[in-house]
Chain A
């Protein structure tokens, strides 16, 4: 228990040290949202929180997406508008029409992106996100996929990554630190 208390205390500290990571994360993509419009990494009109997952996911998405959505709301309460974005790893089921139904359940302002297999693979490669089918249930394939939430600035450049184990308040706090530091 002492370990956990120590770690949580550490996690509650303000944004302090920023070390560079030894690999590239982020890049350009061109995908299609739930309304059928083409969206790129810099077309959200401001910063965004971006997550790779799928609408039918009963695993990590059920944890990470609500946290990301709550973080967006917490930031909005502090006067910072951040666009929540889902990039699907399941384009067969996550068509624009299907995402149009599912997106509001996650967040009323969610932009849910899909596209061709190649376009989505390119986005995953840019963000170093792995995705693979690990089984099937009666509703279709089950995917394992990377689960970090990425904070992007208005130009689509990655500012940092957020583990899904963080609470929404901590996600919002970290994001706020970066966004307040932007000119």
Chain B
């Protein structure tokens, strides 16, 4: 079977919804790269507890396990990140892991599909690291994601 461009396939769907078509558009978005599973599922707590420093360790585990990351824009929109510069895969990859919970400004293309907003990042123009210090309010979320011995050691070392 021949390889098929999603764009071509989408054209068929687009023809089925002629009044609802949408093309990709270039955007610049600033926001935090979040763990979409914990953010949407609520299994680890309220949305503001599963972003930032409080949730960083869990988010790295989730990213390592293949959970797609999202860019939580300053406008409150969650962009499902399909691709970051440096990764060939359509989701996942080391770049996702190393940038989890970073607040970045990204340029790329946004695509509306199936009621979701996807972002293909062409360039990360700034990276502020993790300024969202949610651990000051929530501690580590979830509390058992870091072994007690590690927490004790860090606290001992100040």
Nearest CB on B from A182, distance (A) = 8
Nearest CB on A from B85, distance (A) = 13
Q: How far is the CA of A74 from the CA of B67 in the complex (A)?
A: 24
Residues of A within 8 A of B67 (CB): 60, 147, 164-165
Residues of B within 8 A of A4 (CB): 39-40, 42, 47
Known: A2-B76, A128-B89, A129-B89. A23 touches B6 (CB 8 A): yes
The answer to whether B3 touches A20 (Cβ under 8 A) is no
Question: Which of A5-13, A77-85, A107-115 lies at the binding interface?
Answer: A5-13
Residues of A within 8 A of B64 (CB): 134, 144
A19 at interface by CB-CB < 8 Å: yes
Interface size on B, residues (CB 8 A): 58
A25 at interface by CB-CB < 8 Å: yes
- What would 9 A/B residue contacts be, using CB atoms closer than 8 Å? A6-B76, A7-B76, A11-B115, A19-B111, A147-B67, A163-B80, A165-B40, A177-B114, A181-B12
Chain A binding surface, main DSSP class: loop
- CB-nearest residue of chain B to A134: B64
6 closest Cβ pairs, A-B complex? A20-B7, A130-B89, A59-B65, A181-B16, A128-B90, A17-B22
